[in-house]
Amino acid sequence: MNLSKLAMSLGQSATLKLNELANNLKAEGKPVIHLGGGEPEEKIPRGALEESGKMLDAGFVRYTPTSGTAALKKEIAAYTELHYGVKPGPKNIVAASGAKQAIYNFLVAVVDPGDEVIFPAPYWVSYPEMVKLAYGVPVAVKPREGELLAKASDIEARITSRTKAILLNSPNNPSGQVYPEDFIRRMVEICEARGVYLLMDDIYNRLVFDGLKAPSAFTFSKKPLNESHVVSINGVSKTFSMTGYRIGWSVANEALTQAMVKVQAQVSSCPSALSQTAAAGALREGNGFVETLRGGLEKKRDTMVAELSKLKKVKLHRPQGTFYSFPDFSAYEKDSTKLSNLLLDKAMVVAVPGVEFGLEGHLRLSYCGAEKDIIEGVGRIRKALD
């Protein structure tokens, strides 16, 4: 077929593949329960709908500046100031087609062939493949036995002269754990001392429970934003339930931002004008929507934890945020792919194998769907394993 070595080296996204499978089974009328999803079921914020409606009425949906419209960047700057305590200017921001493209822009902007990018396991399924897409070498650091958060010293020990960046996602997909303040502070110190970028994937940073807050890495930086090695990625996909709009963004120093703008200009020109307008509307609408979503997810988290506790041999670290849990099923079956296949076969429940996130023996079970599906889905898992 004459395909590139790069294309052939890439794995498929396990989560997107399972999403498709769940949708196909549902379309065939099978009684499948999808606990593998990655998006809230809520409708989009009113403000997003109104703004996109206005643009459609006007009949002009054109290219925008590569890094995003002034209106959206103004909202992103205000949002960043409110939630991170740092005020970016327009030259620090790139609006992208999803947080995923913002991460891709970053990787292409900083990674030379053979450079290393470190991230702790369990990690978001796309990190290793995205690093490979930038011709980099992914370096995953596992947590110690029985834990879900890697130690800062174990991460530091993997830094070499080829390390360009460390990627951190907190609260974490798939574990739902929030990295504590001490850890984030230490990572900022390490990165600033070693001249390594710290990319904070903050896509779930508002979806945190039990009165906790996900610490902002900017708070611990000793440098002004334009000299800082801290980069924040965020977007409207998760916190505003707008996955299909595909709007994310990066906040970074000006020199790095300029390089990211060049990358984006040659890859996609700009994110969709219609989606940018909608995202600005959502951000303007503010806290109310996110707080309702967050509160609902906290209740669903409680349901998931209560149902999983009925499986006596499952070990669970209570999720502190996101809409994922990452229970350890190894007492039942160590091979998570085998277990995921068995649950689909015997119970018609979709669950993502932990090995896809770099940690064998676990399954990722989402609680972003309907409460009754969480109860029924975990109930079916229990019956299948009993």
Between residues 52 and 169, which has the closer beta carbon with respect to ligand PLP? Answer: 169
Query: Which one, 51 or 201, has the nearer CB to ligand PLP?
Result: 201
Least separation in angstroms between CB 124 and ligand PLP: 4
State in angstroms the smallest separation of the CB of 363 from ligand PLP: 16
20 vs 324: CA distance, rounded Å:
19
| Between 130 and 385, CB nearer to ligand PLP | 130
Which is nearer to ligand PLP, 100 or 186 (by Cβ)?
100
Angle between helices 254-267 and 99-110 in degrees, nearest 10: 110
Stretch near ligand PLP under the rule CB under 6 A, chosen from 97-105, 151-159, 279-287, 311-319: 97-105
Distance CA 383, CA 386 (A): 5
68 binds ligand PLP (CB under 6 A): no
H/E stretch holding 186 reads helix 181-194
Burial 6-28 (b: 16+ CB within 10 A, else e): eeeeeeeebbeebbeebeebeee
**Minimum distance from CB of 120 to ligand PLP (Å)?**
12
What residues numbered 167-206 form the site for ligand PLP, per CB under 6 A?
Answer: 169, 173, 201, 203
Identify the residue among 124, 183, 220, 367 touching ligand PLP (CB under 6 A).
124
Nearest approach in angstroms of CB 171 to ligand PLP is 9
Q: Residue with the closest Cβ to ligand PLP?
A: 98
**Residue 305 CB contacts under 8 Å (≥ 6 apart), including other chains:** 316, 318, 319, 325
Whichever of 64 and 311 has its CB closer to ligand PLP, that residue is 64
Q: How far is CA 331 from the centre of its chain?
A: 28
Of the candidates 82, 102, 67, 75, the residue with the CA atom closest to the CA atom of residue 216: 82
* Cβ atoms of 300 and 125 closer than 8 Å: no
Q: Which stretches of the chain bind ligand PLP, using CB under 6 A?
A: 38, 98-100, 124, 169, 173, 201, 203, 235, 237, 243, 248
